[in-house]
């Protein structure tokens, strides 16, 4: 039985029906409108794509958050300054029809939407100076691989902040699929590149020349690759590899549209070589490569022919235009490898008279002795042989190297000297000079190397002893020896701290505050703090720096192999294990080169060799190819122009960055060197990235700004000797004229650092966010110039720690760390502590100390532990173990 509802209920029901109908109309209208809008704007093509920004406010607001599809919960936000930008890499050139911006409260009043094919040259497709924020839908007409919001005026005192940045458009149509054309080898005669070649007779091109009697063969190491540019995008259906006896056991076949981002279409494990046919493949790309991860023999990878069959009779499309950021596709004329090293590389031969050689050494030293912030750069190279009667005095921005494969191949019967006469015996400013890969027979039996930071002494065989200070034992502060043998005694004299790694020494006599030895045969026993020796018998995981040498075929670069639990020099019991690369596999860079050219070189498969000089880069050099070597000569210096991040490494294996000085410019850069993209997650334990003798400078040579000098995102990276320095003297040195937050941020897991010299940054000098990290030796001075305790405080704490392990870290270990203060602007400042860490049994500190150098104080050593370092004593305050 149905009972009539009361009138009130009827009215309510009628209202609900009307409301439901209205809602339905709205929904239908919304669906129609949305469909029409989406149709008009093509499809969303930016979501989840790689993103980059001029700066991030903090780790919780990265550029990637603006492309994650979350329009209300996550966001990108920038530093509080103008201009700032955020860009997305679409992966290939697209036609752009619409952009949507979902602004947070901190929006832009003036900005441009820009497109670019190369990440360097930008075209405006939209511009406004009257933006009101909110959600903005912009109809645009343009094309490009990269799309950027370039903000020029903020609406608030905060930075720029976007919940989401959506780009709508379309990509070129891919070729249609058809029967697999096994009659034609699409790779034959095409441009081929490789990670390495065994010798000049086995080039990459030999694997695609159609001749079964010629072959490509690689260096005897993993990984290695062979890449072919098919000239246009193709559908791949079959690959045949005609292996020589040295075959690949484990490898992948990969394709790419741009030679940068690779997709695996076939994985082979346990291969047995022979004539290997891989059929039934499904993938497309302009580039195809064989990527070997495990060799079947002790030799390299070797293929008589690499045959590619395509399936598609429909039209093909042109590949995207070459790009410079990330690494471009190598179209047009190929850049040459090898070449002249330039006039500032000075090569000596044993046939030259000692007087001629000495005159040139003296001429350069006279110019460079006091040239602390000049632009001149020099590299001395000694060909194998014996040289007598020389005293090579080494000044600023000067490197002296032997050209033998081993140190004994070049014998200097004389001295290689660093003194400090120009500062009346004070060696605390003897920066930016080096010696490498030769033998020294000192005239008096003792060689003098009175240096401070950024002055490595590597692969040296000293037939005698060493002293590390001036004859009067004047002030000296910091230094580094690695992969060397010193047969006699080393006397550090006045050196406040020193780090020696993987070497062999006769003896060591003397200490001040912090002497650290890792894998050093002949080192004194661990006895910190009295005397303050920290000694580790072995180094956990190491790889020595690549170096230039010469043989009968010409210049080559040797890349030493990775070692674990190592001690002693690599060359004492025979040749250093590793891989030799001819100079023809390097693009030889000279000042004036552009980032676009350097990126093209990397895309071609070339490594980079920077000759001495100063390089101004206004956009990023992207090292996105596994195994790339980037090596500098004579303190080659890379300057960040226009707020650029001058160099970035991809989430790839085995990249080596060595012997470079990075300089911040007057426009703020997010970083000077970034190893791995934000969120990098690859496991690189088998082939770590290496950062070796890399020095980063903010100010001194002029006003400069950077947010974080060095950022390491890649897992398993080895950091081997850096000096990250916010200048305390020179031009542009002051709290507001060379601002910089942090000298080193480590986000990667299982990163190992040796010889960290990080000084004077305005916030935390080092922030360690990744688990499994290890640091052996740390030298730090807190900033000299905080204007007051109030201006240099956070969260109720005076000052920022020199070395902070993030609260989320559950495993970390550090040995031999010293942090000092001298507060020249306000001597009353009492920094709360120098080391800040979560209290966890697996987060361990060994042999750490603080010192006041006479102005200001440090209340505790680590967290709330350790005595105060007061200015009256100028003595170390030690903590042997924490927790």
Question: What is the CA 250 to chain-centroid distance, rounded?
Answer: 28
Rounded Cα gap, residues 473 and 264, in angstroms? 60
Report the relative pairing of strands 621-623 and 647-649 from DSSP bridges. parallel
Its sign, for the CA torsion 608, 574, 693, 63, is positive
Structure-block tokens of residue 786: 């905080």
Q: Residue 533: beta bridge partners?
A: 515
Active-site entry in 781, 813, 827, 836? 781
Residues 6 or more apart from 394 whose CB is under 8 A from it?
A: 365, 400, 416, 417, 418, 433, 434, 435
Rounded Cα gap, residues 505 and 147, in angstroms? 56
Active site residue 781: yes
- DSSP assignment of 627-693: T-EEEESTT-EEEE-TT---EEE-S-S--EEEEEEEE--SS-BS-SEEES-TT-----TTS--EEEE
Q: Residue 224: beta bridge partners?
A: 292
Rounded Cα gap, residues 353 and 346, in angstroms? 15
Let me know if 186 is exposed, middle or buried by CB neighbors in 10 A (0-12, 13-18, 19+).
buried
Let me know if 541 is exposed, middle or buried by CB neighbors in 10 A (0-12, 13-18, 19+).
middle
The backbone torsions φ and ψ at residue 356, rounded to the nearest 5 degrees and listed phi first, read -65, -45
Task: With beta carbons less than 8 A apart as the criterion, state whether 581 and 557 touch.
Answer: yes
Question: What is the CA 769 to chain-centroid distance, rounded?
Answer: 17
Report the relative pairing of strands 497-501 and 514-518 from DSSP bridges. parallel
Report the relative pairing of strands 378-382 and 345-348 from DSSP bridges. parallel
The backbone torsions φ and ψ at residue 78, rounded to the nearest 5 degrees and listed phi first, read -100, 175
Residues 6 or more apart from 791 whose CB is under 8 A from it?
A: none
- Count Cβ atoms below 10 Å from residue 326 Cβ, excluding itself: 26
Task: With beta carbons less than 8 A apart as the criterion, state whether 628 and 650 touch.
Answer: no
Rounded Cα gap, residues 94 and 786, in angstroms? 49
The closest of 540, 558, 539, 538 to 548, measured between CA atoms, is 558
b/e sequence 437-474, b meaning 16+ C-beta within 10 Å: bbbbbbeeebbbbbbbbbbbbbbbbbbbbbbbbbeebb
Let me know if 657 is exposed, middle or buried by CB neighbors in 10 A (0-12, 13-18, 19+).
buried
540 DSSP 8-state letter = E
Question: What is the CA 883 to chain-centroid distance, rounded?
Answer: 32
Rounded Cα gap, residues 477 and 181, in angstroms? 68
Task: With beta carbons less than 8 A apart as the criterion, state whether 69 and 165 touch.
Answer: no
Q: Residue 496: beta bridge partners?
A: none
Q: Residue 727: beta bridge partners?
A: none
Rounded Cα gap, residues 223 and 669, in angstroms? 33
> Mapping DSSP to helix (H, G, I), strand (E, B) and coil, where does residue 52 land?
strand
Rounded Cα gap, residues 394 and 380, in angstroms? 10
Contacts by 73-76, CB closer than 8 A, 24 or more apart: 73/163, 74/163, 75/104, 75/161, 75/162, 75/163, 75/164, 76/51, 76/161, 76/162, 76/165
Question: What is the CA 419 to chain-centroid distance, rounded?
Answer: 32
Return the active site residues.
781
């Amino acid at each position: 039985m149905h009972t009539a509802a009361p009138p009130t209920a009827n009215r309510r029901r009628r209202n609900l029906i009307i409301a439901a109908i209205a809602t339905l109309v709205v929904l239908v209208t919304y669906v129609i409108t949305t469909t029409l809008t989406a149709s008009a704007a093509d499809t969303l093509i930016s979501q989840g794509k790689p993103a980059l920004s001029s700066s991030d406010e903090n780790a919780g607001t990265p550029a990637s958050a603006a492309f994650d599809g979350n329009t209300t919960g996550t966001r990108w936000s920038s530093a509080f300054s103008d201009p700032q930008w955020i860009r997305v890499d679409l992966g290939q050139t697209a036609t752009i029809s619409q952009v949507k911006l979902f602004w947070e409260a901190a929006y832009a009043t003036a900005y441009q939407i820009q497109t670019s094919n190369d990440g360097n040259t930008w075209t405006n497709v939209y511009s406004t100076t009257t933006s009101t924020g909110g959600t903005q839908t912009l109809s645009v007409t343009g094309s490009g691989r990269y799309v950027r919001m370039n903000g020029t005026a903020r609406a608030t005192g905060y930075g720029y902040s976007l919940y989401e940045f959506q780009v709508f458009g379309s990509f070129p149509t891919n070729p249609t699929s058809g029967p697999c054309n096994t009659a034609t080898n699409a790779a034959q005669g095409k441009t081929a590149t490789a990670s390495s070649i065994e010798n000049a007779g086995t080039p990459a091109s030999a694997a695609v020349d159609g001749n079964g009697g010629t072959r490509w063969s690689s260096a005897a190491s993993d990984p290695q690759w062979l890449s072919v540019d098919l000239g246009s995008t193709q559908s791949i259906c079959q690959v045949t590899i005609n292996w020589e006896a040295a075959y690949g056991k484990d490898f992948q076949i990969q394709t790419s549209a741009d030679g940068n981002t690779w997709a695996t279409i076939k994985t082979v494990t346990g291969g047995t070589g022979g004539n290997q046919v891989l059929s039934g493949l499904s993938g497309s790309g302009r580039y195809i490569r064989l990527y070997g991860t495990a060799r079947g023999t002790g030799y390299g990878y070797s293929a008589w022919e690499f045959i590619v069959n395509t399936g598609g009779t429909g039209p093909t499309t042109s590949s995207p235009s070459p790009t410079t950021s990330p690494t471009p596709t190598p179209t047009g004329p190929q850049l040459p490898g090898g070449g002249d090293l330039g006039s500032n590389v000075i090569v000596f031969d044993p046939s030259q008279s000692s007087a001629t050689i000495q005159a040139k050494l003296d001429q350069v030293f006279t110019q460079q002795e006091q040239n602390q912030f000049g632009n001149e750069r020099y590299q001395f190279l000694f060909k194998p042989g014996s040289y007598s009667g020389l005293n090579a005095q080494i000044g600023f921005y000067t490197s002296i190297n032997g050209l033998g494969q081993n140190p004994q191949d070049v014998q200097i019967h004389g001295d290689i000297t660093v003194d400090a006469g120009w500062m009346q015996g004070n060696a605390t400013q003897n920066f930016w000079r080096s010696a490498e890969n030769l033998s020294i027979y000192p005239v008096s039996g003792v060689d003098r190397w009175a240096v401070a930071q950024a002055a490595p002494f590597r692969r040296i065989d000293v037939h005698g002893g060493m002293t590390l200070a001036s004859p009067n034992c004047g002030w000296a502060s910091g230094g580094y020896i690695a992969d060397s043998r010193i047969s006699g005694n080393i006397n550090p004299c006045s050196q406040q701290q020193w780090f020696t790694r993987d070497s062999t020494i006769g003896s060591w006599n003397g200490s001040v505050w912090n002497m650290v030895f890792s894998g050093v045969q002949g080192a004194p026993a661990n006895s910190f703090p009295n005397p303050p020796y920290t000694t580790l018998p072995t180094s956990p995981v190491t790889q020595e720096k690549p170096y230039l040498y010469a043989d009968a075929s010409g210049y080559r670069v040797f890349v030493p192999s990775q070692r674990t639990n190592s001690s002693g020099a690599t060359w004492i019991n025979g040749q250093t294990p590793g891989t030799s690369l001819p100079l023809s596999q390097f693009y030889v860079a000279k000042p004036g080169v552009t980032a676009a050219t350097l990126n093209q070189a990397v895309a071609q498969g070339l490594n980079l060799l920077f000759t001495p000089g100063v390089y101004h880069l206004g956009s990023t050099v992207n090292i996105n190819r596994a195994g790339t070597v980037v090596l500098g000569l004579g303190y080659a210096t890379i300057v960040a122009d226009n707020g650029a991040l001058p160099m970035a490494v991809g989430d790839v294996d085995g990249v080596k960055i060595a012997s470079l000085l990075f300089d911040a410019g007057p426009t703020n850069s997010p970083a000077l060197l970034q190893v791995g993209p934000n969120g990098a997650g690859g496991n690189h334990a088998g082939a770590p990235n290496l950062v070796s003798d890399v020095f980063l400078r903010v100010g001194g040579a002029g006003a400069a700004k950077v947010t974080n000098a060095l950022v390491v995102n890649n897992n398993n990276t080895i950091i081997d000797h850096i000096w990250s320095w916010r200048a305390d003297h020179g031009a542009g040195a002051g709290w507001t004229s060379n601002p910089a937050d942090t000298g080193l941020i480590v986000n990667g897991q299982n990163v190992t650092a040796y010889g960290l010299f990080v000084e004077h940054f305005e916030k935390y000098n080092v922030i360690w966010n990744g688990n499994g990290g290890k640091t052996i030796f740390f030298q730090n001075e807190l900033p000299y110039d905080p204007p007051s305790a109030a201006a240099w405080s956070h969260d109720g704490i005076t000052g920022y720690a020199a070395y902070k392990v993030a609260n989320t870290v559950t495993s970390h270990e550090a040995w031999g760390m010293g942090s000092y203060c001298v507060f020249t602007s306000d001597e009353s400042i009492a920094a709360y502590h120098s080391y800040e860490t979560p209290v966890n049994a697996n987060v361990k500190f060994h042999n750490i100390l603080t010192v006041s150098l006479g102005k200001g104080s440090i209340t505790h050593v680590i967290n709330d532990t350790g005595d105060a370092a007061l200015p009256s004593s100028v003595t170390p305050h030690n903590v042997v173990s924490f927790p």
